Amino acid sequence: MKKIYITIATALLLAGCAIDNYDEPGATLSGRILYNGQVVGVRSAGTQLELWQDGYPLRSKITVYIAW
């Protein structure tokens, strides 16, 4: 009986993974970070920016890490 439960749980887990697998975005952002028209020097992998997009019912931030 225990083998049946394990088999069913494994089948549900594997079936659920196929639904949530989306391709990752292929877009990248590039450019300079400016504040009052002046370039801001930042460390790589230590600084985060927040992107916000209006027009969707659930408004939340998208965290972006800076890389060189």
Q: Which residues 6+ apart lie within 8 Å of 61 measured at CB?
A: 50, 51, 52
Tokens of residue 37, six digits: 């028209």
pLDDT confidence of residue 18:
57
Residues 6+ apart with CB under 8 A from 32: 39
Return phi, psi of residue 16, to 5°: -70, -30
Neighbours of 50 (CB within 10 A): 9
CA 59 from centre of chain? 15
**pLDDT given at position 22:** 67
Tens digits of per-residue pLDDT, 3-47? 777 887 777 766 666 555 667 778 788 888 888 999 888 777 677
Global pTM?
0.42
